[in-house]
């Protein structure tokens, strides 16, 4: 099963349905105005999101609420978020891209 | 099932620069305006534009809108319509000042005026010295423009339908456009938005190619809606590619990398541009570099396990040069490839960037299509502006900084004309249930159950097909085979199925609807490219290497009905000045 299929409830009966619903909701929030963000955020949603604890998932939702240009600067390493949970998230998203 | 209806004076589909500038004009005049956007407005693709917007302000060097016009006509390889180009270049100046007053934080010169940078293709005095015409807000011009326009629209009480997906236009028996059927992505509920005038401002369609700089949302939805409503698409063969995108990803590696001394190598480690352009080498024109790269790959000299890219070498320049002069490239390589470009070469492939073609309009942004009385009859109630439209100001090739200008000028022009149209047509035309049927049927198609291919599989094949058969390497054989393959792929879409039928946040369903659109715009592109037997601007053919004004100085029109090709003349007469006759395009 590839990564995306693991997040598809019709293919993976072990997936918690509420988590699956959360992932589909966030999938659209990961559609952004810049290709770089599409690639990074979608990869993370497939590869890293389900491994986050509930607090981490809440942070990710908060992260997605920021403007494209700000998220872009964070993920490309041109700026650093002020709070520690978002800084940790930036590192995880970057790691997922290269995994 | 009865679908709820909402009524507005104007419906705008798309909340990028074009849609928002039109909406602002209308809402400021107290019209009831609905803006539908499939993503939150400030996530529209306009946010990605970094370079800037052109206007002959003459803040750095002497400049004149007439010189800007000359450069644009020449850049278009004489396929642009000169009335529209004159209008755009004149309007550029008040447009930029209007943005400045609205609060866009343009970069400044010491004397407080707007800073302007020099871009390729800009000249003083009709082809003389370099001009500096591009106004930028640091490296985030698109972001600044989009946010400013959005805030102003909120203030003007524009009604936003965020995360609503437009499915199709609604036309009555007489061909007038009555609005659109839309779908709320969160709930899956449908809604009919009735409007006296409808503007399509849905942006580009780079996602039809496997390697593109465009975000995932750029799927040509509005163009395909126009096609399905019986409007042809114009000049779709003209698509701008950049030679160096990150292979398999698409992001642009700017020409600056080769300007600093970077060069391309093939799988044998050979600096192959020496064979194709012995003098200009890696700085030869974009189409020459891009075609040389693809020729190397086609002939089996690519790099990597699949031999499907070439390499851009920068490591001989030293860390100091690479990291300090090319910081953007360094970041992209680090984040996406996990490499340091000062130490390892970058895998690259030509990347699809900008659509010159689109929905045919006149300079008032009214959609025009061939009908009983000629090739340019206005479709009542329908407008288009921005990258999805073809006015045509870019002709066969767009100049850097002219597309932000296009979206702003013609977005505003659409607003102005809609004001008048709504004043003259103050009532909604009656909408019958039967007018909704085509749109409802298309949506229902994806509810069919049973076995079938996945949308993702068909989409991946489509994008590869377009790259192989209608990318930078174009000749008769390659494209004829491509057309046949695409017709077969179109059949496969009919048999594809959605596994996930849940109504809420069903991204898979949206992706299926987008696939329908990509196939339609893909066919328009491929058929138009196959038809045009010459090389002009971004369309370069190996079997017809020269421009042929006698046979081909005309616009192409592709209609979905019967996959038909048609043509119409270029408008060579400007509004007030002499026309620029075609000349060889040398820089
Ligand atoms: C990386 C990059 C850099 C660029 N840099 C420059 C530059 O420096 N200067 C320049 O002049 N040009 C530049 N361009 C080109 C320019 O950015 C675009 O041509 C322009 O922003 C397009 O604007 P638009 O308003 O037409 O559409 P977009 O900004 O793409 O907006 C389209 C809108 O339509 C909506 N939409 C689409 N389909 C649907 C649907 N089915 N239902 C509902 N809503 C829908 C979207 O949600 C969005 O709101 C660049 C392009 C790229 C890719």
CB contact under 8 A, A39 and B336: yes
Say what the pTM is. Answer: 0.96
Compare all CA atoms of chain B with the CA of A64 and give the residue at the minimum distance: B43
Nearest Cα residue to B124 out of B78, B61, B53? B61
pLDDT at A5: 58
Q: Is B386 in the pocket of ligand 1 (CB under 6 A)?
A: yes
Residues of B within an 8 Å Cβ radius of A: 38-39, 42-48, 140, 143, 146-147, 163, 185-186, 212-217, 249-251, 331-332, 334-338, 456, 499-500, 502, 504-507, 510
Decide the pairing of beta strands B5-13 and B33-37: parallel
- Please state the ipTM of this predicted complex: 0.94
**B202, B335, B460, best to mutate vs chain A, most A CBs in 10 Å:** B335
Ligand 1 atom closest to Cα of B225? 41
Q: Which residues of A touch B504 (CB under 8 A)?
A: 21, 24-25
Residue A25: HSE in the Cβ half-sphere, 13 Å Cα cutoff = 13
DSSP β-ladder status, B190-200 and B5-13: parallel
Tokens of B23: 């909406």
Q: How far lies B278's CA from each of A12, A37, B284, in Å?
A: 56, 39, 9
Cα(B184) to centroid of ligand 1, in Å? 21
Query: Can you give the pLDDT at residue B75?
Result: 93
Structure letter (DSSP) for residue B76:
T
Flag if B335 and A38 touch (Cβ within 8 Å): no
Over residues A32-44, the pLDDT tens digits come to 999 999 999 999 9
Instruction: For residue range B280-298, list pLDDT tens digits in order.
Output: 899 888 888 998 999 999 9
Active site residue B286: yes
Examine the pLDDT at A9 and tell me if it is beyond 70.
no
Pair of tokens at residue B577: 């000045």
pLDDT at B247: 97
Q: In the predicted model, is pLDDT for residue A4 greater than 60? A: no
Q: With contacts defined as CB-CB under 8 Å, which chain A residues touch B143?
A: 67-69
Token readout for B479 is 């494209």
pLDDT digits (tens, 9 = 90+) for A10-24: 556 666 778 888 888
What per-residue confidence (pLDDT) applies to B268?
A: 97
Q: Which DSSP helix (H) or strand (E) runs through B419? A: helix B402-424
Strand partners, B349: B245
A39 → chain B, closest CA residue: B249
Q: B215 and A33 in contact by Cβ < 8 A? A: yes
Nearest to B353 by CA among B393, B390, B395, B399: B399
pLDDT for B372 equals 79
Ligand 1, pocket-test mutation among B11, B150, B404, B513, most atoms within 8 A of CB: B404
Ligand 1 pocket check for B404: Cβ under 6 Å: yes
Distance, in Å, from the CA atom of B118 to the CA atom of B133, rounded to the nearest integer, reads 6
Burial class (CB in 10 A: 0-12, 13-18, 19+), A67: middle
A12 contact residues in B (CB cutoff 8 A): none
Minimum distance, in Å, between the CA of residue B521 and any CA atom of chain A: 20
Beta B554-559 vs B346-355: how paired, if at all? unpaired
What whole-number distance in Å separates Cα of residue B573 and Cα of residue B558? 24
Low-confidence ranges of chain B (pLDDT < 70): 1, 587
A-B C-beta contacts closer than 8 Å: 95
CA–CA distances in Å: residue B550 to residues B64, B215, B307: 31, 38, 41
Q: What are phi and psi of B12, to 5 degrees?
A: -120, 120
Query: What's the CA gap between B362 and B272, in Å, rounded?
Result: 44
Q: State in Å: Cα B564 to ligand 1 middle.
A: 28
Of B34, B37, B45, B507, best ligand 1 pocket probe by most atoms within 8 Å of the beta carbon: B45
- Residues of chain A found within 8 Å of residue B185, distances taken between Cβ atoms: 28
Contacts 24+ apart (CB under 8 A), B98-102: B99/B53, B99/B145, B99/B148, B99/B408, B102/B148, B102/B149, B102/B152
Q: Is the CB of B346 under 6 A from ligand 1?
A: no
> Quick count: other Cβ atoms within 10 Å of Cβ B321?
15
Which tokens in the block code for residue A23?
């992932």
Residue from A3, A42, A68 whose CB has the most chain B CBs within 10 Å, to mutate = A68
| Residue A6 banded pLDDT, cuts 50, 70, 90 | low
| A28:B185 CB<8 A | yes
- Which token pair is B310? 């070439």
Ligand 1 pocket check for B245: Cβ under 6 Å = no
Question: Which of B45, B249, B334 comes nearest A33 by C-beta?
Answer: B45
Contact A33 B43 (CB under 8 A): yes
Partner-chain residue, chosen from A24, A38, A39, that has the shortest CB–CB distance to B505: A24
For residue B146, give Cα distances in angstroms to B8, B84, B241, B410: 23, 24, 25, 15
The CA B142 to ligand 1 mean position distance, Å, reads 9
């Amino acid at each position: 099963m590839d990564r995306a299929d693991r997040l598809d409830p019709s293919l993976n009966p072990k997936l918690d349905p509420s988590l699956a619903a959360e992932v589909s909701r966030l999938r659209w929030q990961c559609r952004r105005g810049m290709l770089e963000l599409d690639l990074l955020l979608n990869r993370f949603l497939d590869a890293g999101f389900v491994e986050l604890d509930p607090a981490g998932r809440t942070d990710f939702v908060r992260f997605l609420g920021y403007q494209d240009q700000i998220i872009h600067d964070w993920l490309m390493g041109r700026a650093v978020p002020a709070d520690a949970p978002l800084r940790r998230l930036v590192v995880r998203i970057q790691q997922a891209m290269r995994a | 099932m009865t679908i709820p209806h909402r009524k507005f004076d104007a419906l705008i589909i798309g909340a990028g620069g074009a849609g928002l500038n039109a909406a602002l004009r209308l809402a400021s005049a107290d019209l009831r305006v609905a803006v539908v956007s499939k993503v939150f407005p400030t996530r529209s693709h306009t946010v990605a534009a970094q370079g800037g917007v052109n206007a002959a302000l003459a803040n750095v060097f002497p400049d004149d809108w007439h010189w800007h016009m000359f450069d644009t006509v020449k850049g278009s390889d004489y396929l642009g319509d000169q009335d529209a180009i004159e209008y755009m270049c004149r309007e550029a100046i008040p447009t930029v000042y209007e943005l400045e007053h609205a609060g866009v934080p343009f970069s400044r010169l010491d004397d407080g005026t707007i800073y302007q940078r020099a871009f390729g293709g800009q000249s003083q005095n009709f082809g003389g010295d370099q001009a500096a015409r591009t106004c930028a807000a640091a490296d985030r011009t698109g972001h600044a423009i989009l946010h400013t326009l959005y805030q102003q629209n909120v203030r003007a009480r524009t009604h936003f339908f965020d995360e609503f997906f437009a499915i199709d236009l609604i036309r009555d028996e007489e061909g007038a456009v009555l609005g659109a059927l839309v779908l709320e992505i969160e709930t899956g509920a449908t809604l009919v938005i009735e409007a006296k005038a409808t503007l399509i401002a849905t942006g580009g369609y780079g996602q039809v190619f496997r390697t593109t700089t465009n975000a995932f949302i750029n799927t040509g939805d509005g163009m395909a809606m126009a096609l399905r409503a019986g409007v042809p698409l114009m000049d779709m063969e003209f698509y701008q590619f950049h030679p160096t995108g990150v292979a398999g990803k698409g992001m642009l590696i700017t020409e600056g990398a080769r300007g600093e001394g970077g060069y391309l190598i093939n799988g044998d480690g050979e600096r192959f541009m020496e064979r194709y352009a012995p003098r200009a080498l890696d700085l030869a024109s974009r189409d020459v570099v891009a075609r040389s790269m693809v020729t190397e790959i086609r002939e089996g000299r690519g790099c990597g396990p699949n031999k499907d890219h070439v390499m851009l070498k920068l490591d001989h320049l030293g860390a100091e040069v690479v990291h300090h002069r090319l910081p953007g490239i360094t970041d992209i390589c680090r984040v996406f490839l996990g490499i340091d470009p000062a130490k390892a070469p970058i895998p690259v492939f030509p990347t699809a960037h900008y659509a010159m073609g689109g929905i045919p309009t006149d300079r008032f942004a009214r959609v025009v299509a061939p009908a009983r009385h000629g090739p340019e009859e206005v479709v009542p109630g329908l407008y288009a502006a921005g990258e999805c439209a073809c006015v045509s100001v870019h002709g066969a090739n767009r100049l850097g900084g002219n597309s932000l200008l296009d979206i702003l000028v013609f977005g505003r022009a659409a607003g102005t004309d809609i004001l008048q149209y709504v004043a003259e047509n103050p009532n909604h035309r009656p909408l019958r249930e039967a007018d909704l049927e085509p749109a409802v049927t298309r949506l229902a198609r994806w509810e069919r159950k049973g076995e079938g291919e996945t949308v993702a599989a068909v989409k991946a094949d489509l994008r590869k097909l377009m790259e192989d058969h209608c990318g930078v390497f174009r000749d008769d054989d390659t494209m004829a085979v491509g057309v046949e393959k695409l017709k077969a792929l179109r059949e496969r879409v009919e048999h594809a199925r959605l596994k996930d039928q849940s109504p809420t946040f069903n991204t898979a369903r949206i992706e299926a609807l987008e696939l329908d659109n990509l196939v339609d715009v893909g066919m328009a592109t491929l058929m138009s490219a196959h038809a045009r037997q010459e090389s002009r601007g971004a369309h370069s053919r190996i079997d017809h290497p020269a421009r042929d004004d006698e046979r081909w100085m005309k616009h192409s029109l592709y209609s979905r009905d019967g996959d038909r090709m048609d043509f119409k003349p270029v408008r060579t007469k400007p509004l007030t000045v002499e026309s620029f006759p075609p000349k060889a395009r040398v820089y």
